[in-house]
Amino acid sequence: MRSRRNLLLAAALLLAALSLIGYCIVPRAWQPRGLRLRIPFALSAGAIVTGWVAWVSAAIFGTVAAWIAAAALLLFSVRQVPRWWRDSLRFGRLLTALLRRNPLLASVLCLLIALTIPQLLIPVVDSDGLRYHLAFPKLYLLTGEVNFYPWDVTGGFPHTAEMLYLIALPLGGEVAKFVHTGFFCGNLILLILLIHRGRRTRAAALLGAILFAAAPVATCPAAAAFIDHITETPGISAEAKAHGGRRAQLEAGLLQRRDVARERGRGHRRGAGGGEGEEVEGVWRRGHAEARAPRVVKAYITDMLFVAGRRAKQSSGGAAGAGPRLRLRPRLRLS
């Protein structure tokens, strides 16, 4: 049990280090404006930057270069520790307050996350983790270099997510499961903050995270040595930032139109100017409600069905391509 606590602590420190690296590397102009998405976005950016830098460095100079590159990124980011810690505490209080406002849905979400605990307490037994996700970092550590593995099709992929496992490998191979579970929880938080826009969308935000966590295609590999949730984090972060930017742009434009209409209609609201002011006021109300509508829940349900269909196609078709052919095309329209 003590070793499991040590693995959990090591995974938490690695996730915090990745968040700090992303917080410092990404320019302030590219970061989300609000505090809600700043820390999760930093985790996503830190994972991308650290994974690519470590993989390129290890492929050119050897496996040891991965740790040197990660240490250099961390030392470069130390100067932002006070600001990052202050924003992290504020983000934690914001998330805690959001969960306390709806204890029933928050309890259901915590119960779904707790379903991953039994798998965290046993050794790595998943096929993909033993075959390449965790096997490649161990192979790179044994050989001392990152090279092409010709006996598996996955040997030709850039193993940027596996580089995170390689960095934490001296602490134990099973730390990969805890890191992957941490990204799973981070995706749930990102989904909540992506949908949440106020008091009216609080329940919809938690419901969206519950639907995501309840999908077997998302929960089953959450506590395994996979990379699925690590690769999903940048996509959800980019969508959250883009959705927030579109909402801010929409609100800014409608505010400007409302102010212009008010100026034109001032003094003669019963005349022609008053009609234009009332029309723009109606557009403002409709646009504001549209910007806060939780449509992302439907999009991610469709996405989960699409992924489940692809998994079913792969399992039923086999290597020879036999079995039914499933053609599912998700329709993700978020605007």
Whether the Cβ atoms of residue 129 and residue 176 lie closer than 8 Å to each other: yes
Predicted confidence at residue 19, as pLDDT, reads: 93
Mean pLDDT of the chain: 76
Token duo for residue 164: 């995170």
How many DSSP H helices and E strands does the chain contain? 15, 0
Average pLDDT over residues 164-172: 85
pLDDT interval class at 333 (50, 70, 90): very low
Q: What is the pTM of this model?
A: 0.70
Going by C-alpha positions, the residue among 131, 121, 43 that lies closest to residue 87 is 43
Rounded to whole angstroms, how far apart are CA atoms 145 and 173? Answer: 18
pLDDT value at residue 20: 94
Question: Are 120 and 76 found together in one domain?
Answer: yes
Residue 244 inside a domain? The answer is no
21 pLDDT band, cuts 50/70/90, is very high
Same domain, 127 and 182: yes
The Cα–Cα gap between 293 and 288 comes to: 9
- Residue 50 pLDDT class (50, 70, 90 cuts): very high
Same domain for 309 and 287? no
CA distance 109 to 202: 14
DSSP class per residue in 235-284: HHHHHHHHHHHHHHHHHHHHHHHHHHHHHHHTT-TTSHHHHHHHHHHHHH
pLDDT of residue 326: 43
Domain span at residue 333 reads 296-335
Whether 285 and 146 share a structural domain: no
* DSSP helix/strand/coil, 139: helix
Does one domain contain both 203 and 316?
no
Residue 185: its H or E element: helix 175-195
Whether residue 249 is predicted with pLDDT greater than 60 in this model: the reply is: no
The confidence score (pLDDT) of residue 124 equals 82
Q: Residue 185 above 60 pLDDT? A: yes
Instruction: List b or e across 215-238, with b for residues whose CB sees 16 or more CB atoms inside 10 angstroms.
Output: bebbbebbbbbbbbbbebbeebbe
Indicate the number of domains in the chain: 3
pLDDT(107) > 90: yes
Domain boundary among 235, 263, 280: 235
Task: Tell me: do 172 and 310 sit in the same domain.
Answer: no
> In terms of pLDDT, which residue wins out, 284 or 62?
62
Give 329's pLDDT tier (boundaries 50, 70, 90). Answer: very low
On whether residue 315 sits in a domain, the answer given is: yes
206 and 113 part of one domain: yes
pLDDT for the residue 318: 45
Q: Residue 243: inside a domain, yes or no?
A: no
70 and 33 in a single domain? The answer is: yes
